[in-house]
Structure 1
């Protein structure tokens, strides 16, 4: 039995708030962390590998997994289904390994409401201002003005759900935010529900105490 159970670490934010950078820094900080590999019904793109980038599935198989409770969360996006298979996550957390989830508030809610919900740690990343959020999206140079506009329109809907998360970090300084994120993860790993040996230790203490009274 491992010393602790793993955490399901959920990171959410509007696009451009720094979530992906923070997630990769976490994985560099602790290489036992891994991303949850999502399942999808869309076709693989050039260079994508099944089981590494995504689990590529047919629609009937995906729907079967949803109906039998084998998906922690799922969504229908632009004509395709996406979801997080439950079995590999269960295996990881029972082995003491944390799993990172890059999902929106709806995915986060589904995971928290699942039977693995007690092992979740949800963190929302806020930008310091809307102006700064737009500046970061523009400076990335990855999206057209139209796409940036759509991301900005969507950002407030995402931000409005900040109150449903365990922790909220304002990413006004990346290094400082990362230090706070590490502190949160370190502390949450010691949560009572994450320590499977505690009950046996307490029973042992109780037995020892009773023996001393005889």
Structure 2
């Protein structure tokens, strides 16, 4: 039986970077959600998202329960529950970038189905100002940084419900990844 490691936290904390490092250095592959928007620069179909039309997404949602469905002005996002269950059945560890509330719901929903092991991980900065610093280092424009920081902050009251809280310190990506991997017992 495989394990799913959810990564949640505020926008700009580095979840995608951590997931890429877990994939590249430890072979922990990500769960790839579906999206109805066109790929952005550098995004690849089947790697970042499964890019589908709205009608294809609708057909998928009508034929199987979906998890983590989010509708935004740019498109609809979601993951078929069967994809998550299949990842667990395959016996490999996987990562899944999901919202804070969604991670906790996923853990409970899959436990209720007897479908496997979900480890919830909350990524937090050492200081809230670090999020803007990290985004600047990745070349994120100032207006986008402001927009991301204006989004409702992570609900820290949920922190005790997570299996693991990891501080993602600037310049210490390897330490963050090591903390996650060690907690998995790998």
Structure-2 change in CA distance of 1:159 and 1:43 (3 Å): same
Aligned to 1:203: none
Structure number with bigger Rg: 1
The counterpart of 2:80, out of the listed 82, 85, 88, is 85
Task: Number of aligned residue pairs: give it.
Answer: 181
Q: Normalised by the size of structure 2, how large is the TM-score?
A: 0.79
Aligned to 1:11: 7
Offset, 1:98: 1.6
Residues 37 and 51, structure 2, Cα contact 8 Å, conserved in 1: yes
- Greater fraction strand: 2
Q: Normalised by the size of structure 1, how large is the TM-score?
A: 0.70
Structure-2 change in CA distance of 1:143 and 1:158 (3 Å): farther
- Greater fraction helix: 1
Offset, 1:162: 3.2
Q: Secondary structure at the match of 2:178?
A: helix
Residues 100 and 154, structure 2, Cα contact 8 Å, conserved in 1: no
Aligned to 2:167: 170
Q: Secondary structure at the match of 2:166?
A: strand
Distance 1:132 1:48 in 2: 25
Task: State the 4+ residue runs in structure 1 displaced beyond 6 angstroms.
Answer: none
RMSD: 2.7
Structure-2 change in CA distance of 1:113 and 1:62 (3 Å): farther
- Can you give the 5+ residue segments of structure 2 that lack an aligned partner in the other structure? none
Offset, 1:97: 1.0
